[in-house]
Structure 1
Amino acid sequence: MIVTVEPAGEPIYLQIYRQVMHAVNTDEFPIGSPLPSTRQLARDLSVNYHTVHKAYELLRVRGIVEMTPRGRALVRRPDPLGPPDEWFAEWDRRCATLAAEAIAVGVSRGEILRRWRGLLDGAPAEA
């Protein structure tokens, strides 16, 4: 996986988070595979270790990775029962914010739905 960061862009930890999420969703990191160590990725990107740690912690909190006792981040298998209610509550909040931002700048509801469907069409198939 090649991660790149743009210092003048959005917060670096979010750039890392989004790129790792993309790699997981495209099976570049299949279930059970380890992510690069936080220290190694920090060195490779010339960023602070805590920046990478913050991205990995966000991945853990959102249920994408699990941490081993030795501190390695592994891509976790999705829960067969689906995500917990707390996950859906947070997801709903994030989607509501994005929808409100789009509407505030003049994007129509139809365009929001068209783009959302396009994103889903490009997402990996259900397991």
Structure 2
Amino acid sequence: MMRTLSALFRLMRPHQWLKNVFVFAGLAFGERVTSTGELQHVLSIADPIDILRSTLIAFIAFCLVSGAVYVFNDLKDVEQDRIHPLKRNRPLAAGEVSPVFAAIFGIALLAGGLVLAYWL
């Protein structure tokens, strides 16, 4: 069970999630122009806790959707990955996860990410 969970987690390529951290840049640089023409920082407009919560949810949604894309990519490239010296160790190419289970997992990740994004 733990081995399968580990394989599914690696299938999502969490080391690539660093790119999703840029969602938090809006907290530092987010401004809007008011009706009087003034610039207001986003954290002064609304409750900072709500903004941080929404940003965290957006980060998680990005991670889920990008994880789904990596799963679908691995499904598409599984045969080529099996003969590649480095990619053959990926969970799908190595046979740690079945293609059917990976497809179901990818769909679940995509659905979860889209539901979270809609909730924002």
Question: Structures share a fold, TM > 0.5?
Answer: no
| Greater share of residues in helix | 2
Structure of greater Rg:
2
Normalising to structure 2: TM-score of the pair?
A: 0.27
- Which protein has greater RCO, CA pairs closer than 8 Å, 6+ apart? 2
